[in-house]
Amino acid sequence: MSVKTEILKLKEELPSNVKLVAVSKFHPLDAVKEAYEAGQRVFGESRPQELYSKVVEIQSSPDYSKGTYADIEWHFIGHLQTNKLKFVLPYVTMVESVDSLKLLEAIDNWSAAAGKVTDVLLEYHIAAEDTKQGFDAGQIKEILLSGRHYPNVRIRGLMGMATFTDDEDIIRADFSRLVGLKSELDKCKTISPVPANLTSDFDTLSFGMTHDYRIAVEMGADIVRIGTMIFGERDYSK
């Protein structure tokens, strides 16, 4: 199957209100270009240096000056160290993987200095494995309801990754924690005064990858992040 075929298949399958992030990490820029030609515009990367290299490479391609690729939207979806912000924040429309207070504060500070507001999702640790990053539910509520205000960050919603398993019940249970927390927080939007970090812009749930995106769509994902199905297996030795 080609990248193009997979993109077209997904576009047909996904409801129009679900945003597809094509996860291009560990794949060359040519793969991004191929997906772009099939109409894909949103790409996900998880390593700062790799994202940065792809952006630089694409901006120096001859087609770029003619306007091609200028409408690509990059989402950062991996663990982000605070000393790597400059490789990421100028180029992305969203950081989906904010997994610590320290990172949230650093993004806020960087964005203030750059005179912009950065869209982020808070990563909610829903999986059984403790290798996956993220906040617990209490920390997320604290940030959104009683934490300090982050004026240069717009918290758009939550991101999560289910346990890596073929057991659909476990995946569903993980995803329901995410959906449940989102709806609990949605109810808090009517609190008066409205909590500063919880605005009407808090409207996005990002969950679902190659092996579980169908369940995610069924359960109400706004964003799905799909890599392997589109681009094939990743070679982690690269």
Closest CB 26 distance from ligand PLP, rounded Å: 8
Helix axes 48-59, 29-37, angle to 10 degrees: 60
Closest CB 229 distance from ligand PLP, rounded Å: 6
- Per the structure block, which two tokens stand in for 115? 């005179």
Which residue in the set 152, 210, 220, 232 belongs to the binding site for ligand PLP (CB under 6 A)? 210
Measured CA to CA, the distance from residue 184 to residue 141 in angstroms comes to 9
Q: Decide: is 214 part of the binding site for ligand PLP (CB under 6 A).
A: no
Residues 154-173 within binding reach of ligand PLP (CB under 6 A): 161
Q: Decide: is 226 part of the binding site for ligand PLP (CB under 6 A).
A: yes
Closest CB 135 distance from ligand PLP, rounded Å: 15
The residue (of 45 and 195) whose beta carbon lies closer to ligand PLP is 45
From 10-18, 87-95, 182-190, 226-234, span contacting ligand PLP (CB under 6 A): 226-234
Question: Which residues pair with residue 223 across a beta bridge?
Answer: 19, 206
* Sequence-ordered strand ranges (E) for 5-146: 19-23, 42-45, 73-76, 92-98, 118-124
The DSSP 8-state label assigned to residue 150 in this structure reads: -
Closest CB 192 distance from ligand PLP, rounded Å: 35
Size of residue set near ligand PLP by CB under 6 A: 12
The residue (of 77 and 127) whose beta carbon lies closer to ligand PLP is 77
Q: Decide: is 23 part of the binding site for ligand PLP (CB under 6 A).
A: yes
Measured CA to CA, the distance from residue 132 to residue 70 in angstroms comes to 33
> Length of the chain, please?
238
Interacting residues toward ligand PLP by CB under 6 A: 23, 25, 46, 77-78, 161, 209-210, 225-228
